[in-house]
Chains A and B, each alone.
Chain A
Amino acid sequence: MLKDSNSDIFTIGVGGAAGDGVKRTGIKIGSLLRDLGFQVYISLDYPSLIRGGHNFVRLSFSKEKVWNDYSDLDILVALNEETTELHKNELKTDAKTISGLPLPEILENIKNILKEKEIEGGEPSGELIDGNKAFGKGLLAAGLDFYVAYPMTPSTSTLHYLAGEQKPGGLKVVQPENEISVINMALGMAYAGKRTAIGTAGGGFALMQEAFSLSGMAELPLVVMVSQRQAPASGVPTYSSQSDLRFVIHAGHGEFPRIVIAPGDSEESFQAGIDALNLAWKFQVPVVVLLDKILSEHMMTVPIDMNLGHKESGKMANNVNADYGRYEFTEDGISPMAFPGIPNAVVKVNSYEHNEKGITVDKAEDIKKMIDKRFTKMKGIGEDMHNIETIKVYGDKESKNSIIFFGSTKSPVLEASKHLNKDTKLIQIIWLEPFDTEKVKRELEGAEKIICVEANHNGQLASLIHERTGIEITEKILRYDALPFDPIKLAEEINSKL
């Protein structure tokens, strides 16, 4: 069996009852470690209740980048008695336990233990941040005007974060009566020219389907964050899953262009916030950012540079006159936008199929023309994809062994790769729709062994790759018990297949 006592990676566990401040304590320890110059990864494990139950936070840290937390503990911080009992088998031989102490003393103890063991950090760098907050920051860096959401785990912390970022003359946050209202309200805001994003989980997005389709039909720019949790139905609210891949790429009735971006860590989540808002406005399409509970809530030290933000306003109509048509035919399929309130402009958007002016039509010729017009935008999106990291490749880029994955599975895969017996190429799919067939094919060509790692029952990514590239992936590592992959166990499983 592999040992995770990688000499330079250390792990602290913090346990207690819900309401004991487990998360707060964990984050305080994380901030301390970050300030001491460590790279930190924090995982959270809690049931869906407010008081009682067992909550557990785990922090792995090192001078070098840590992609995932480990299960064997160097230090256990017990906020109640049960914790020592529950986690006794996870302690390394020389592990220390801190129990019954208030927070300042816990932090002091940890500092002393690090000193004793001569564990030193480097230059402090990066922000300790989870994917939901990073996504919200990305939206802000791209000029977000409105965020609209109905609370649903695990998407809610973006709502909380952005609610606190409201400013006079700046961002506004609205919490309407349900998810159907959320998305229709957001479309009303986009119609009036405001950059708007919404956030929910799989179940909430299911309620939004009809209006998601309206966003495609009416070409109203919209960003939708969907954070997956264990499903179907109410599933297991506070545990993770990657089972909504197929759902989001096919979301909404009818055919219309959309973009689906699946970041793999907090840094990419920040970037996805920026890209999604700009792409939505550039191409006047709905853009989904697909997260999951792990990515939404686990924290990582990553560089967050608000200066990377920029605002692409999209194609605006100049000198609007009575001839203005919101859906004017253009070479690139993108019609210049005007908004209500502009003198001389009559801006008509329509959920029915429509002509250039936005008036309802039902003639075959008009219908086809407008569908073609919307899909003409795919060409421009395709061109942009050449310059965007739609996939990322890590590890040994010449290797004939490939491991392929998406979303938060990046974390355990990259961490597991530190423990693999053979050189491997690691391929992360970031853009799920449109799928970058060309780049994925190029990376997989000549591969002798391809292993797909994902957190669902059906191997949705593997099937998507097969569908879009013709390459069949037979080796799959699927986890659908709602728990995160453990990097050591994952490495063992990959090694057995290599």
Chain B
Amino acid sequence: MELDLSTKTKITWCPGCPNSQILVSFRKAVKELVENGSLKIENVTAFAGIGCHGKISDYINVNSFTSLHGRLIPSMTGTKCANPELTVIGFSGDGDSFDEGIEHLIHAAKRNSDINLFVHDNQTFALTTGQFDAMSPKGFKGKSTPSGSIEEPFNSLLLMLSAGATFIARTYAGDIEGTKKIMQKAIAHKGFSFVDIIQPCLTFFDTRDHFKERIYWMDDDFPKDDLKIAMEKVSEKEDKVPLGVFFEVNKPTFEEELYATR
């Protein structure tokens, strides 16, 4: 029987929202992995936070845990501890993981929990109708910052590198094939995988033109096992936005250590 990962739930994202492209990338990524035998569909366990991204769990016919705002990461680690056989994938937003739940994000990277976090990064709070968040550029004019936000955003990849994440990548939602491949690489990686998915918000922060001119895929031979090189690469001040895998190293995972030491 053909694997169908869709549900009957009506999709309520804005028309044309890149969230739908992330959804398609995910379904394709999982379908291929299941069909080539590298993943059991019953082991795929998806988590979502709260925000526009969070609706995704209603649209995928796999196990899912729709968490609270910013709190999916500890639940993901809990599930992975409880059953290390599961493939734990979290969908989060930039507000979800870099504002409300940032302590969990940093600690999950620190403890190298074997979970995968895909951040739908639209650089704004969208579901609450457009306020600045931790990833909005300085000067962002939102409903709570009519004269422009006065804070600099995080460099999310640099933050994750310094926190100890063992897989770090960035992709662009509009590139469905590219996003699919990055998702598959993240899932294949053993340890904490962080994927920043640039997802322009068509309603509150339409950055499509900005990013289309600036994104490029890094060469496959980019050295991925060197923290210093990765840190330099994600800190580049150029106006270009590199996509691809910046860093991937193997370290014992939290769950392996939990079961090994006792």
Contacts and interface: CB of A to CB of B under 8 A. Distances in A.
A and B are partners in one complex rather than unrelated chains: yes
A343 B43 CA distance: 8
Contacts of B86: 192, 340-341
Interface string B62-96: 11111110011111111111110110000000000
B78 A340 contact: no
Contact of B107 (A168, A177, A343, A347): A177
B78 A341 contact: no
B71 A211 contact: yes
Give the size category of A's interface with B. Answer: 35 or more
Contacts of A185: 74-75, 77-78, 81
Contacts, number: 139
Contacts of A247: none
Contacts of A346: 61-63
B183 to A, nearest CB: 19
Interface string B43-68: 10100001000010110011111111
A189 B83 CA distance: 8
Contacts of A194: 82-83
B2 to A, nearest CB: 13
A17 B231 CA distance: 51
B83 A348 contact: no
Nearest to B45: A340
B152 interface: no
Give the size category of B's interface with A. Answer: 35 or more
A317 to B, nearest CB: 13
A184 B7 contact: no
B9 interface: yes
Contact of B104 (A166, A181, A214): A181
Nearest to A345: B42
Given A145-B82, A172-B262, A348-B64, A341 B43 contact: yes
A146 to B, nearest CB: 7
Contacts of B75: 184-185, 187-188, 191
A167 interface: yes
A350 B78 contact: no
A340 B262 contact: no
Contact of B258 (A172, A211, A358): A172
Interface in A320-374: 339-352, 358-360
Contact of B66 (A178, A182, A210, A351): A351
A32 to B, nearest CB: 33
A360 B11 CA distance: 12
Contact of B79 (A192, A211, A352, A359): A192
19 contacts: A146-B78, A148-B78, A168-B262, A176-B74, A180-B103, A184-B74, A185-B81, A188-B65, A192-B78, A192-B86, A194-B83, A210-B71, A211-B68, A211-B71, A340-B79, A341-B63, A347-B64, A348-B63, A350-B57
Interface of B: 7, 9, 40, 42-43, 45, 50, 55, 57-58, 61-68, 71-83, 85-86, 103-104, 107, 258-259, 262
6 closest Cβ pairs, A-B complex: A188-B78, A188-B75, A192-B82, A185-B78, A184-B74, A340-B63
